[in-house]
Amino acid sequence: MFQNYVFAADNLPYAFYERTADGTEHDITDELPFEIPESWEWVRLRSLGVFSGGKTPSMSNSKFWAGGKIPWISSKDMKAKNITSSEMMITQAAADTMKIYAPGTIVMVVRSGILKRFLPLSFLAVQATINQDLKALELFDNSIGDFLYYAIKAFEPYILFELVKAVTTVDSLKFDEFRDLFIPFPPMDEQARIVANLFIIEKYVDDYDIADQKLTALNASFPDILKKSILQAAVQGKLVEQDPNDEPASVLLERIRTEKAALVKTGKAKKSKHESVIFRRDNSHYEILDGIERCIDDEIPFDIPDSWEWCRLNSLGQIVGGGTPKTDNSENWRNGTIPWLTPADMKYVSGRYVSHGERNISEQGLSRSSAQLMPENTIVYSSRAPIGYVAIASNPLSTNQGFKSVVPYFEGVVLYLYYCLIQRTPEIQSRASGTTFKEISGGEFGLTLIPLPPFTEQSRIVERIEELELTRQEL
């Protein structure tokens, strides 16, 4: 076995030499990171045990996996100091082709993107195998395991900064250099005292970490909770004072109906199949739909001021779907100039406006698909995967079929309606259907009940929301 021996020079206060297997000696004083007590020694990590690796049994061979009971450790399992199980288990047939490691073996990740952040290091608490992204260190003396674990962790910043190489696929540990790492090695009794104290400190650190995580989660969620409270107050008429001089919302609804009729007449909007009129009588809410009157008190989610009105979303704008041009026809995409959104694009929208997605489509792509070019100030709303991404188009654009967008009949309501849809999203999600994934249909989306304030009050509400939003973001 190739072993290097590190020893202190007798005639120098702090000088260390290393003797290799062939008897050659060389000065390593400048390579050592810090001074240690005289009773301690420096050792190479590889002098303390034997390193070896693992592999992945053939995934196509069912006899290696079906009914497996032997842990097969991967980086996904390296979440605790002591590993007792794994996500995937192999059979004895697979284990016969691999090395089985005993409890007390130290395992570490040597290839993974996680090496950008930390070095996963654990003990096996049961017999197990490992995959090819891990290395196992079988110690010559398991009694040094606890101290060695903490010693390696102490060098973690150096290891990540100096001994991890970034490659195009995944980061990996410079393993030969890692094995040559110098470890400060105390007497066994002192190791035991150090480990005992570290156990106590570790418990306090764990308790602190749990408390810190709870506080961080609370701080992270508080602004969102505050936003929900702000929007809830906004749509209930509790965010700003009512002004008796405001023109009531009933007048605004009549104006919107007039605008809609004009758009339908010029062919810029489609006539609704189901016109809805909601009104109050005897302290109850009624709706006339398709000429039939019915009480809808059980659908009204909360009270609103007398000057407000309830209406269906499709009374305020046309609900428009989207589509995807055939991807195997390059003419649908080449040199495209029409912005085309997918729900995935909405993850990167900052603020309330969106102008484009990752891809554009061509005029041919637009004409040969169900995608539609929608005007500026359209409210785009993702209807699946997930439901509830919402933004206002800052320019004409199109979407795929994962949206149900609202082209308002009267643009003056856009800003208030944008915030209102954010607030109404949980209720919209509750009406979604589907087995593979939930989706809100255009018809169902159009039936969303909207509490509509007077036009001038909408401006005050939006202004107040934006003031409070700035405060929320500072929290």
Give the integer Cα–Cα distance in Å for 303 and 280.
Answer: 12
Whole-model pTM: value is 0.56
Give the integer Cα–Cα distance in Å for 40 and 220.
Answer: 46
Which helix (H) or strand (E) segment holds residue 425: the answer is helix 414-430
pLDDT score of 220 more than 70: no
Instruction: Count the helices and strands in the chain (H runs, E runs).
Output: 10, 28
Q: How confident is the model at residue 8 (pLDDT cuts 50, 70, 90)?
A: low
Confirm if 230 and 472 have CB atoms less than 8 A apart: yes
Confirm if 53 and 136 have CB atoms less than 8 A apart: yes
Tell me which amino acid residue 196 is: A
Tell me which amino acid residue 192 is: A
* Bond into 33 cis (ω within 30): no
Q: Give percent helix, percent strand, percent coil of the chain, each to the nearest 5.
A: 35, 25, 40
For each of the domains in the chain, give its residue range(s) and CATH number, in order of start: 49-186 (3.90.220.20), 249-321+404-474 (no CATH)
Distances (CA, A) of 241 to 155, 421, 457, 467: 61, 22, 9, 15
Confirm if 448 and 429 have CB atoms less than 8 A apart: no
Confirm if 371 and 323 have CB atoms less than 8 A apart: yes
Integer-rounded Cα Rg, in Å, for the chain is 33
Give the integer Cα–Cα distance in Å for 45 and 40.
Answer: 15
Burial (CB < 10 A; 0-12, 13-18, 19+), residue 149, is middle
Confirm if 307 and 249 have CB atoms less than 8 A apart: yes
Ranges 29-43, 50-64, 148-162, 198-212: which has the least confidence: 198-212
Per-residue pLDDT reduced to its tens digit, 300-338: 999 999 999 999 999 999 999 999 999 889 999 999 999
Q: How confident is the model at residue 108 (pLDDT cuts 50, 70, 90)?
A: very high
Give the integer Cα–Cα distance in Å for 369 and 327.
Answer: 11
Per-residue pLDDT reduced to its tens digit, 117-153: 889 999 999 999 999 999 999 999 999 999 999 999 9
